[in-house]
Amino acid sequence: MSSILVLPGDGIGPEIVDEALRVLKAAEKRFDLNIQLDHALVGGAAYDAEGDPLPESTLAKARAADAILFGSIGGPKWDNIERDKRPERGLLRLRSSLGLFANLRPAILFPQLAEASSLKPEVVSGLDILIVRELTGGIYFGQPRGIKEENGERVGFNTYVYSESEMKRIARVAFDLAMQRGKRVCSVDKANVLEVTELWKEVVTEEAKAYPEIELSHMYVDNAAMQLVRAPKQFDVIVTGNLFGDILSDEAAMLTGSIGMLPSASLDENRKGLYEPCHGSAPDIAGQGIANPLATIMSLAMLMRYSLQRDDVADAIEAAVEKVLDQGLRTGDIYTEGTRKVSTGEMGSAVAEALAGV
């Protein structure tokens, strides 16, 4: 028995999570799955109900679950409340409380959607990159940090720090994942300037010795940023620290053209994970039934693959998504002339049907 905690959140969150659950139901019918579902509040919805974007009861359920399926949080309604109570704080606290140090952001471009990219279709069609970003360390968390007065002017400072053990564990995640894919890892650093990434490069190279089948390369972050728009298909898995990963994963994501298509996972040491679409709560379209549920549905596929070790179910969900795209179904954000515009619910139902039938 596996347990999944469902946290729909705010805005379009509940709409897109409903469709992922519809797909889960179809998966349960087709495969031998024994899943116990639980639900809880998070973000603005939790603040409204309990005065806290991450109530203790939600955190306790999250700790107990094998995996978490998360919608999205936030919205203008909560923009002006005290900082600590804002919806985003709930998500950050959830990630750090669960020790989710490995952020996985695939950038996949289905050939059917190649026209949606700002790059030439031949450069991006069939793109399949996985960016592995360290999520709980590096310059975003290093101490000391702050803004101080020095010699009559203000000085801002942060500390870029990684311990060897932090570097080793994220490298291992990248190598393990690459073994399930193309067996190539590119480690991104700035070793020509920053000592911390000089050590990063050394540690990653040492860790690679335990993975003789992996082809490891190294690239400076400025070059990686260029290569991602010049020839993105050269990459299989990219592993990097928090800051570089933040920027490169957004860059890679945008190669695919639509934010509504991008899933993500954040994993702990034991592959317990939080799975969520990369986009936010889209308050501008919430409640209209037009949001694209595919990023959340593909987050469910990642959950099956990484936390439940069910590659067969993950592959089938992804195949069902592809089938529906082949049939020409599109939500508004990925619509192009000659395709059929459908609602959130129609898209979810079509994927569930395709899953049941394939």
**Which residues are annotated as catalytic?**
140, 190, 222, 246, 250
Nearest approach, Cβ of residue 53 and ligand NAD (Å)? 11
Strands (E), the chain: 2-9, 35-39, 67-72, 102-108, 128-134, 146-150, 153-157, 184-189, 215-220, 237-240, 263-267, 273-277, 329-330, 340-341
Helix, strand, or coil (residue 166):
helix
Nearest C-alpha neighbor of 106 from the set 254, 249, 309, 267: 249
Nearest approach, Cβ of residue 43 and ligand NAD (Å)? 7
Interface pick for ligand NAD out of 8, 55, 74, 263 (rule CB under 6 A): 74
From first CA to last CA, the distance across the chain in angstroms is 25
What is the residue whose two structure tokens read 């990684």?
Answer: 162
Q: Which DSSP string do the residues of 75-99 spell out, in sequence order?
A: -GGGTTS-GGGSHHHHHHHHHHHTT
Site mask for ligand NAD (CB under 6 A), range 253-282, x = bound: ------xx---------------x--xxxx
* CA pair distance 50, 52, nearest whole angstrom: 6
Residues 6+ apart with CB under 8 A from 123: 231, 232, 233
Nearest approach, Cβ of residue 282 and ligand NAD (Å)? 4
Closest to ligand NAD by CB, 79 or 315: 79
Q: Return the sign of the alpha-carbon dihedral for residues 277, 278, 280, 282.
A: negative
Candidates 70-78, 144-152, 177-185, 211-219; binding stretch for ligand NAD (CB under 6 A):
70-78
Nearest approach, Cβ of residue 68 and ligand NAD (Å)? 12
Site mask for ligand NAD (CB under 6 A), range 210-249, x = bound: ----------------------------------------
Interface pick for ligand NAD out of 109, 239, 291, 297 (rule CB under 6 A): 291
Nearest approach, Cβ of residue 349 and ligand NAD (Å)? 16
Asked if 285 touches ligand NAD (CB under 6 A), the answer is: yes
Closest to ligand NAD by CB, 73 or 351: 73
Residues 293-322 binding ligand NAD (CB under 6 A) are 295
Residues 14-33 binding ligand NAD (CB under 6 A) are 16
* CA pair distance 349, 81, nearest whole angstrom: 37
